[in-house]
Amino acid sequence: MGWAATARTGVSVVVSPAPGPPMTTMVFRTVSRVTPRPQDKLPNAPGSPGSRVGTSERVPAVTERLESDDQTQPQVPTPAAVKPSGVKPSPAVPKPAAPASSASASPESASAETASGANSSDGNTAATPGPVPGPDAAASKASNHTTGAPAKAEAHGAGSADGVSAEQLEAARPFGEVTEDGHVYVLVDGERVLCGQVPEVPADEALAYFVKKFEDARTLVNVLEQRVEAGTASSDMNRNADHVMAQLAERKLVGDVKALEARLEALRPRIAELEAEHKRATEAAKAEHFAQRDAIVKEAEQIAEQDPQKIQWKQSSARMAELFDSWKAHQKSGIRLSRKDEESLWKRFRNARTTFDRHRRAYFSKLDENNAEAKRVKERLIAEAEALQSSTDWNVTAGKYRDLMDRWKSSPRASRRDDDALWVRFRAAQDVFFDARKSANDQVEQEFEENLKLKQELVEEAKQLLPVTDLRAARKKLSGIQDRWDQIGKVPRTHFKRIENELQAVEEAVRDADSGTRAKKVASESEVRSNSLLTQAEEKVAELQGQISAAESTGDSARAKKLGKELSSAEAMRDMIKRSAAGL
């Protein structure tokens, strides 16, 4: 392989490879100085694993003025001029476990390295090119340079290189080779495959670069083995195995590649089983998740399909909100359905929510209109009730309030809050009137109490006629008592029957005092008839009085007026019977 090199003052040397197979190249901003070590007289065999011509030492970039391009360059020997076979390995230096390859150190590399060492060995700048050494001299120079390689490798092996431990590096040596120009090869089934080039660094450092890649791949295989052993199902295990296998197939790493490939292939059946289990579990989880989502959608659709006039909006709205929260929680659960299922379920759920919201808005809009109309109707009823509250026409006004109450009950209902407030106002207007009527009735009752006292005095006076000794005088006094009785007026209903019965007892005693058998018989027959008629008349009067009081309490003025006329007729009949009975 041919190389062309140019340099300028104050810059790093840039090495451009001639056409050939692709390789990895690392360029450092340094100048490598090859210093032969005279004390090491035992050269390694060219091409043996780990061998390197000379000792590579990193030094700071130097300012070196090279001859201009137009100057005559020293003639570099061709690859044919270098005979690696002329260099004999020293038996004092042990060979590495990897098989030696005569191609590990190419003649071109040896010639280039020899020329570089000849130019820079004395450390002087602007060195004048000297005579070109022959093939034997170049081989001898390469042999002398390799004597420093074991010491350098030993220094790297003491610790770690590029994140690779000494144990890992030693384990990888049988599977890798490093040439003197930094080319790194991996040995796979006896085949020598180029990994890449790491120029101008120690051999162990170049080797460690590709060993690190192998260790990274082995770490991934270890992780896969642990996951397989633990039975951790995942959909990416086979993909990860393919990724590692692709890295191994590129042969850009140094290690026991075949063993790692075998471990990886051994995992394939179990990975396939785990992925199948994972797929089945995933499908089952998706099916369950779909069923749960579908149940949410179906319930939302049932709520949306209810009759807007019969639906319980508060409970249904709360439930619809809960269903939406459940939907969002299922979305965050990590289980993803297919795009088709996701879109289908969401479309149904969205339509159900949209329908429900549309019905709710329409219902409450209509409800607001109805509430406004109900408020207007009841405001008018309240105005009428408030206009009647100061009336003293008890019977007529009570009837009007009954009509207002009937109209209130038949009017549409407003909202609960508005309806309650309107009812309080309407009831307050009625209370003003009925409280005033009650006060008036209480005053009338007080007057009836005074009448009761007067009639009680008349009863006591009538009882003084008993026993009857003078029938004519008794009849005369009793007739006067009856006249005054009628003039007094009404008594409270609770005492009406009692006070009437007490007076009737005196009247019966006076009638019984009539002398003579015949007269007694006639009187007795007449008395029986008159008493029967009188009792019926008095019961009729009492019944009518009770009906009138009941009609007045309910505000039925028309009925009270009608009953009042009947009461007048009944009282007239009663008085006539009394007078007839008193004349017997």
pLDDT mean over 514-536: 61
**Chain-centre distance of CA 449, in angstroms?**
77
Cβ pair 342, 290 in contact under 8 A: no
CA proximity to 401, closest of 379, 382, 377: 382
pLDDT digits (tens, 9 = 90+) for 217-241: 999 999 998 988 888 767 688 888 8
Sheet with 191-197: list strands edge to edge: 176-178, 183-188, 191-197
**Chain-centre distance of CA 346, in angstroms?**
16
Q: Enumerate residues 6+ apart whose C-beta is below 8 A from 232.
A: 274
Residue 204 belongs to a domain: no
Q: Who wins on pLDDT, 343 or 508?
A: 343
Residue 281 belongs to a domain: no
The count of domains in the chain is 2
Q: Enumerate residues 6+ apart whose C-beta is below 8 A from 513.
A: 467, 468, 471, 474
Pick the last residue of a domain from 145, 178, 204: 145
Q: Is the pLDDT of residue 109 over 70?
A: no
pLDDT digits (tens, 9 = 90+) for 308-330: 889 999 999 999 999 999 999 98
Tell me what pLDDT residue 551 has: 82
pLDDT mean over 293-302: 95
> What letters, b where the CB count within 10 A reaches 16 and e where it falls short, cover 177-193?
bbbbbbbbbbbeeeeee
Cβ pair 282, 330 in contact under 8 A: no
Structure token digits, residue 20: 């050939």
Sheet strands (E) in 134-236: 160-161, 164-165, 176-178, 183-188, 191-197
Residue 66 phi, psi (nearest 5): -90, 165
pLDDT digits (tens, 9 = 90+) for 423-452: 999 999 889 989 988 888 777 777 788 888
Residue 242 belongs to a domain: no
> What letters, b where the CB count within 10 A reaches 16 and e where it falls short, cover 381-414?
bbeebbebbebeebbebbbbbeebbeebeebeeb
Q: Who wins on pLDDT, 60 or 349?
A: 349
Pick the last residue of a domain from 91, 115, 145: 145
pLDDT digits (tens, 9 = 90+) for 35-86: 333 333 333 333 333 433 333 333 333 223 333 333 333 333 333 333 333 3
Q: Which domain holds residue 482?
A: 448-582
Residue 401 belongs to a domain: no
What is the signed CA dihedral for 233, 236, 239, 241, rounded to 10 degrees? -50
Tell me what pLDDT residue 544 has: 83
Whole-angstrom distance, CA of residue 138 vs CA of residue 228: 56
At residue 272 the predicted structure's pLDDT band, cuts being 50, 70 and 90, is: confident
Residue 16 belongs to a domain: yes
Structure token digits, residue 500: 């009437």
Residue 472 phi, psi (nearest 5): -65, -45
Whole-angstrom distance, CA of residue 572 vs CA of residue 562: 16
CA proximity to 297, closest of 353, 337, 238: 353
Whole-angstrom distance, CA of residue 164 vs CA of residue 77: 38
Please provide the size of the chain in residues. Answer: 584
Whole-angstrom distance, CA of residue 285 vs CA of residue 556: 77
Residue 210 belongs to a domain: no
Model's pTM, two decimal places? 0.40
Residue 164 belongs to a domain: no
CA proximity to 98, closest of 171, 148, 149: 171
Residue 187 phi, psi (nearest 5): -100, 115
**Chain-centre distance of CA 56, in angstroms?**
66
Pick the last residue of a domain from 121, 145, 169: 145
Tell me what pLDDT residue 520 has: 55
Residue 120 belongs to a domain: yes
Whole-angstrom distance, CA of residue 362 vs CA of residue 10: 86
Gap between the terminal Cα atoms of the chain: 171
Tell me what pLDDT residue 14 has: 34
